Amino acid sequence: MAWTTPGNLSAEVHETHTGLVALLGERAYKAKKALVTEFLDFRTAQQREEACAHEIELNSRLAPDSYLGLAHFSGVEGEPPEPVIVMRRYPDTCRLTYLVRHGTPVEAHLVSIAETLASFHAGAARGDAIDACGTADAVAARWQANIDELHHHAVLAPGLIDEVWHLASQYISGRSALFSQRIADRRIVDGHADLLTDDIFCMPEGPVLLDCLEFDDRLRYVDGLDDVAFLAMDLEYLGRKDLAEFLLDHYRRAAGETAPVTLADFYIAYRAVVRAKVDCVRVAQGHPEAAEDAQRHIDIALDHLRAATVRLVMVGGGPGTGKTTLSRALAEPLGAQVISTDDVRRELQSAGVISGAVGEPEAGLYSAENVAAVYDAVLQRARHHLERGETVILDATWRDAHQRERVRRLAGETQALVVELSCHVPVRDAAARTVSRGPTSSDATPEIAARLAQADDAWPQAHRIDTGGPLAESVAEARKAVFETPVALR
């Protein structure tokens, strides 16, 4: 809520559910309301003064020239003076929200913001108490608290909320190793935790980032990627997903960030859920129009949770069917790691782990013992990547039903979505390809291709991919199968 008073001081008063901001000339005066909520207690002037001082201290990390100090409004006789935060006032036309909505180019500003955040995170406080907020259990608890709030307010369809929680908890429960690695890499920091376009001003001297989360230190102890994901989410909410991706790309470069893309999607979804909760609170406060905002935010959350889903993709077929070519072509659009049985076999052979002659299926290098060693290594590597949030493509013949079942078990253990693709071309074409292709790690000959084509176990679960035509068509067909495989609620 806001009131504007005409005059040369451009006076305005803005009200939030916890405070008042008076804008007067070149200054802004921010006061706390005397209230108590689930998260804060501002009932006494002393409590409000301590909260104001804490807010100034925290925000001076990123905006030291904006928070000018603590002052007091004279109180009613007999009442203590009211503490207020004195801030520099910035023009609304420099607000990032205003610039984005008016189509002003902001890419240069976003580069500066990304670099500012990367530098801020590099120097931010760290420690055991902060790291404790980055564990899988702590992340799950924050999600659960927000999900409970969404159910409590009954603004959004329960089925949507359940799907959000299913996808989020699936990601978390299968990614303990990833969250542990983030802690080991010192990526959990005392951050900003409330980066919104409304609180960022793009000034000639550089970006000004205001109003960090101050009422609960634990909620400010976040992964640096989570911190920047909040702003990326808000840019997407304004209809500029391109700018969100631009910001994240530049932050990754500036911060030396190597996290899997699924983690960024996961945190964007989390921040969208947080904003959906705030929208629901606004509905409860008498703003029914906020229900539409809540729906838009939950839609963003679902989109990114689906994108964050870690997948384990089997790409199978006999020699010469194009499974390796398809696997490599799929890797980039899926952001996936490719693990090939042919490559692993060569590595194990070079290391002396397996040995034997080539040329005969189920003998020599391809004996049952050697094949088992190869598949053990393949699945071990796949587990490593899946637990760290990376989609994996497994390039093998997959003609053995037992090995396929092992992959399905691995997917269940790592909370990954299994997708099964089977490549097919006429046997004569497959045999011809084994002759005409360049150097590969495969030992297959035309004769082996023909024999294996007759020996496959039935694979009814697989999506059949015709790899006899142009590669682009096969990739499109495979991508469709990957993204249309449903994520069933368990």
Same domain, residue pair 325 and 298:
no
State residue 11's pLDDT score.
87
State residue 488's pLDDT score.
54
For the stretch 96-104, contacts whose Cβ atoms lie closer than 8 Å and that sit 24 or more positions apart, written own/partner, are 96/197, 96/198, 96/200, 96/201, 96/202, 97/197, 97/198, 97/238, 99/202, 100/197, 100/235, 100/238, 100/240, 100/243, 101/238
The model's pLDDT over 410-460, given as tens digits with 9 standing for 90+, comes to: 999 999 999 999 998 876 766 565 654 544 555 454 455 555 555 556 899
Cα separation of 337 and 392, whole Å?
5
Same domain, residue pair 233 and 163:
yes
Q: How confident is the model at residue 489 (pLDDT cuts 50, 70, 90)?
A: very low
Query: Which of the two residues, 167 and 35, has the higher pLDDT score?
Result: 167
Same domain, residue pair 120 and 56:
no
- The verdict on residue 490 lying in a domain is no
Of 276, 273, 252, 274, the residue nearest 263 (C-alpha): 252
Concatenate the DSSP letters of all residues of 122-168 into one string: HHS---HHHHGGGSHHHHHHHHHHHHHHHHHHT-S-HHHHHHHHHHH
Of 193, 225, 192, 218, the residue nearest 130 (C-alpha): 218
The model's pLDDT over 160-191, given as tens digits with 9 standing for 90+, comes to: 999 999 999 999 999 999 999 999 999 999 99
Distances (CA, A) of 23 to 65, 159, 175, 203, 353: 17, 43, 46, 18, 73
Same domain, residue pair 415 and 465:
yes
* Residue span of the structural domain in which 70 resides: 2-88
State residue 17's pLDDT score.
74
State residue 326's pLDDT score.
97
CATH of the domain at 418: 3.40.50.300
CATH of the domain at 14: 3.30.200
> What's the predicted TM-score (pTM) here?
0.91
The model's pLDDT over 457-487, given as tens digits with 9 standing for 90+, comes to: 689 999 999 998 999 999 999 999 999 888 7
Same domain, residue pair 224 and 101:
yes
Beta-sheet strands, E only, within 103-259: 188-190, 200-203, 206-209, 221-223
CA 279 to chain centroid: 21
Question: Which of 201-215, 315-329, 388-402 is the least confident region?
Answer: 315-329
| Residue type at 351 in one-letter notation | A
CATH of the domain at 174: 3.90.1200.10
Distances (CA, A) of 228 to 50, 225, 238: 28, 5, 16
State residue 437's pLDDT score.
52
Q: Which pair of structure tokens corresponds to residue 104?
A: 């002003």
State residue 431's pLDDT score.
55
Q: How confident is the model at residue 208 (pLDDT cuts 50, 70, 90)?
A: very high
Same domain, residue pair 287 and 241:
yes
- The verdict on residue 70 lying in a domain is yes
Q: Which pair of structure tokens corresponds to residue 298?
A: 């939950």
Question: Which of 5-14, 66-75, 98-107, 178-187 is the least confident region?
Answer: 5-14
The count of domains in the chain is 3
- The verdict on residue 489 lying in a domain is no
Q: Which pair of structure tokens corresponds to residue 20?
A: 């008042």
CB-based contact 264:309 (threshold 8 Å): no
- The verdict on residue 304 lying in a domain is yes
The model's pLDDT over 128-144, given as tens digits with 9 standing for 90+, comes to: 999 999 999 999 999 99
CB-based contact 113:247 (threshold 8 Å): yes
Mapping DSSP onto H, E and C, the string for 34-83 reads CCECCCCECCCHHHHHHHHHHHHHHHCCCCCCCEEEEEEECCCCCCCCEE
The model's pLDDT over 210-254, given as tens digits with 9 standing for 90+, comes to: 999 998 999 999 999 999 999 999 999 999 999 999 999 999 999
Count Cβ neighbours within 10 Å for each residue of 65-92 and write b for 16 or more, e otherwise. Answer: ebbeeeeeeeeeeeeeebbbbebebbee
Decide if pLDDT at 13 tops 60: yes
Same domain, residue pair 281 and 201:
yes
Decide if pLDDT at 490 tops 50: no
The model's pLDDT over 60-73, given as tens digits with 9 standing for 90+, comes to: 999 999 999 999 98
**What dihedral angle (degrees, nearest 10) is formed by the CA atoms of 401, 407, 408, 410?**
150
Same domain, residue pair 220 and 120:
yes
Sign of the dihedral defined by the CA atoms of residues 141, 195, 115, 109, in that order: positive
Same domain, residue pair 107 and 202:
yes
- Tell me the average pLDDT across 318-343: 94
* Residue 260 DSSP SS3: coil
Mean pLDDT of the chain: 91
